[in-house]
Amino acid sequence: MKKLIAYQIDSFTKEKFKGNPAGVVINADGLSDEQMQAIARELNNSETAFLFSPDDNDCDGVIRYFTPKSEVPVCGHATIAAMYAKALEYNLDSCILKIKTRIGVLPFEIIKENGDYQVIMTQGKFESGPTFDKNTTKKLNAALGLDYSDLDEKCPIQIASTGHSKVMIGIKSRERLNSLTPDFNDLIDLSKQISCNGFFVFTFDSDDPEVLTYGRMFAPAIGINEDPVTGNANGPLGGYLIQNRIVDYEGSTFEFNGRQGEKIERPGTVNVRVKIYNGIPSSIQIKGDAIVIFKTEIILM
């Protein structure tokens, strides 16, 4: 018999039942891929994170991420949740942990203040693809229910990634953003054609001086019709905005808050910090709050 310690955490919020929920299994040593997939399917969050002991001297631990349908290489909100749960479980002080993911060893910073925690995730290397051609853009617009007139002309439609790629689609209106009703089957078909499962639609139409962008993220090909608040969308968005010279910045950093989840009543905020070298994104970090919904045991016979 094996007893697993499992948490349900809402990330990118301090308000319960908001933000993005993630499952976390603290003591996953010995679990098979099939067991992790079954647990992720049972918990039925967009992602569940599994924490393992270090497997070599170059890391402080190993993390893997599963959606209800499949394993993914990395996940922003589940990382925030996993490090928050780990900090609570072991009463950690402020520290930086080197955690091995499927895209390499990444530093995750835990900040302890007033008995609570925030988590900073350094994401993988920023990469982007070419601007979509007219035919692909036409298919994308049809699948999302967008007209060409909805698109923000200064925002090229292209894939951006810090380890788990997303299509960046800038539009003009927050009202239009919140009215989208995508055809998920068409998005699944398009995902296969472009080898990218996530579609991040965002706008600069914000009435909050503390929030630069509002967004929605759709990934039906991996079982996530709409993700509430996505670290691996807002992080790459920061690199995309710098690389395409869409925003102004001073010095060698650009920092902003991205808001997501408004339409589905799970709002949350991702703080994004982009370090810039010679006008190019050199590293990207996301920071977020979290809150525990429940802690439980899973007993495997």
Active site residues: 47
* CA–CA dist 86, 163 (Å, integer): 23
Listed residue (76, 74, 60) closest to 290, CA to CA:
76
* CA–CA dist 156, 174 (Å, integer): 18
DSSP string, 138-169: HHHHHHHT--GGGB-TTS--EEEESSS-EEEE
* CA–CA dist 68, 70 (Å, integer): 6
Radius of gyration of the chain (CA): 19
* CA–CA dist 224, 84 (Å, integer): 23
Contact assessment for residue 72 and residue 47, using Cβ atoms and an 8 Å cutoff:
yes
